Structure 1
Amino acid sequence: MTRAEEQALLRQLKSDYRHILINYFTTTDQALKDCIDKFINSIFSANIPVPRIIEIHMEIIDEFSKQLKLEGRSDEALLDYRITLIDILAHLCELYRCSIYQ
């Protein structure tokens, strides 16, 4: 993968993850589950390391925090979004586990 392709992939993953974060606590439909599965499969296929996933999470949470502060609102609720990260990493671990035993 070229550097440009890698950057484009990371931008797309960040966009997908932002969508997941925004909808994680408000939507329980199959579309969100499919989005999470697609995100996990993309990360797995591209061999994205876990620290990079955490960086993406922190970058987006930081952006959300700045926006909330600009609006004069507390960013305390963003702590709950750690659950999303844990869920994503758990799905990724399961995918790794399944790939090892196939």
Structure 2
Amino acid sequence: MTQVDQDVLLRQLKSDYREILIDYFTTDKTLKKKIDKFINVVFCANIPVPQIIEIHMDLIEEFSKQLKLEGRSDETLLDYRLTLIDVLAHLCEVYRCSISKQS
């Protein structure tokens, strides 16, 4: 994959993850599909876990700055650690299933 392709992919992943974060504590019925799609792309593109964590942290920092500009507390953003845990758990499950099929 070229550097340009990687940059495009990472921008798309960040955008997809932003949607997941925004919808995580709502009643959006498509959230599971969004997470599954995100995980499939991450898995197929062999994106390392630290890069997913970096995407999460970058977005949380952006949200925090926005909340502070609005004069609101960013304390609720701590709850979004659950989103990261959920996404990483899904990714682990995909890896586990992949290894099981190879055995």
TM-score (normalizing by structure 2): 0.97
Matched, 1:44 2:46: no
Matched, 1:74 2:73: yes
Could you tell me how far apart the structure 1 residues matched to 2:33 and 2:13 are? 14
| Partner residue, 1:61 | 60
Could you tell me how far apart the structure 2 residues matched to 1:71 and 1:34 are? 31
| Deviation of the 1:27 alpha carbon | 2.2
Q: CA RMSD in A?
A: 0.6
Structure 1 runs (4+) greater than 3 angstroms displaced: none
Deviation digits for residues 5-35 of structure 1 (CA, Å, limit 9, x no counterpart): 0000000000000000000001241x11111
How many residue pairs match? The answer is 101
Identity %: 74
Unpaired runs of 5+ in structure 2?
none
| Partner residue, 2:90 | 91
Could you tell me how far apart the structure 2 residues matched to 1:83 and 1:44 are? 20
The amino acid that maps onto 1:15 is S
Unpaired runs of 5+ in structure 1?
none
